[in-house]
Amino acid sequence: MADSVVLLDLWVSLYAMRARIALAEKGIKYEAKEENLVNKEKSSLLLEMNPVHKMIPVLIHNGNPICESLNIVEYIDEVWNHKSPLLPSDPYQRSQARFWADYVDKKISAKSIWKNKGEEREKAKSEFIEALKILEGVLGDKPFFGGDTLGFLDVALLPFTSWFYALEIVAKFSVETETPKLNEWAKRCREKESVSNSIPDPQKVSDFILPLIQKMGLA
Ligand SMILES: N[C@@H](CCC(=O)N[C@@H](CS)C(=O)NCC(=O)O)C(=O)O
């Protein structure tokens, strides 16, 4: 019997994008169920599948829920290990990929920029740019964080590139000026169908998010 793979999803969610990229890299067919979080209407399936955090994404594999985006990406990599490995086989390299993905989770926050105003926003912007610069150093001269192919850290960071344009408008900065190599990396990744089909166009994200920010009086 074929696997049943369902993703509790939201097109604009940075974390759901990670799961979508990983599934696309592996060529896994799945059913995406879009949640309506903007109106705070969580489905009963989401509440049942992620009773602890009540958050998307949730991957439901043959009825079993897997929560937390990086955990989901690791699960996908382990279960569908026939192609496109995301985590390196070498334990030390694997520890490094996990360390930097955790760094992304701790230091790269879109919310800290758009949910704040004034000095707080400026501080969040400086920290965001500083973290991007550090990640640019980690990339070095490699085409991808994973080396010659897309890897775990690429998948962890890539979704933020679809929010860069909106954040640049909100906080008045340029990723291209601050971290040109990272900007090139993002373009290179988008040339892959697994990425371009899994993360929305930056213009679409900004058309959606900027009016919401305005409505909240945070523009
Ligand atoms: N650490 C979580 C974060 C997931 C997350 O923040 N999901 C948001 C959407 S982007 C959510 O479901 N929010 C609903 C809520 O906070 O109630 C992960 O990596 O999966």
Q: pLDDT tens-digit profile of 49-105?
A: 999 999 999 999 999 999 999 999 999 999 999 999 999 999 999 999 999 999 999
Q: What is the ipTM of this complex?
A: 0.98
Mutate to test the pocket of ligand 1, among 20, 45, 55, 199 (most ligand atoms within 8 A of CB): 55
> Within this chain, do residues 52 and 130 fall inside the same structural domain, yes or no?
no
pLDDT mean over 132-155: 98
Same domain? 95 vs 75: no
User: CB atoms < 10 A from the CB of 121, how many?
Assistant: 18
pLDDT tens-digit series, residues 168-213: 999 999 999 999 999 999 999 999 999 999 999 999 999 999 999 9
Distance (Å) from CA 38 to ligand 1 centroid: 12
Find the domain containing 43 and state its range: 5-79
Q: Within a domain: residue 84? A: no
Residue 86 domain-assigned?
no
Domains contained in the chain, number: 2
Domain end among 79, 101, 135: 79
Is the Cβ–Cβ distance between 20 and 199 less than 8 Å? Answer: yes
Q: Which of 56, 79, 102 is the last residue of a domain?
A: 79
Of 53, 58, 73, 103, best ligand 1 pocket probe by most atoms within 8 Å of the beta carbon: 53
Distance CA 37, CA 120 (A): 26
**Does a structural domain hold residue 85?**
no
Q: Are residues 9 and 111 in the same domain?
A: no
The answer to whether the CB of 151 falls within 8 A of the CB of 86 is yes
Full-prediction pTM beyond 0.90?
yes
Q: Which of 19, 47, 79 is the last residue of a domain?
A: 79
- Per cent of the chain over pLDDT 90 is 93
Q: Is the bond leading into 57 cis (omega within 30 degrees of zero)?
A: yes
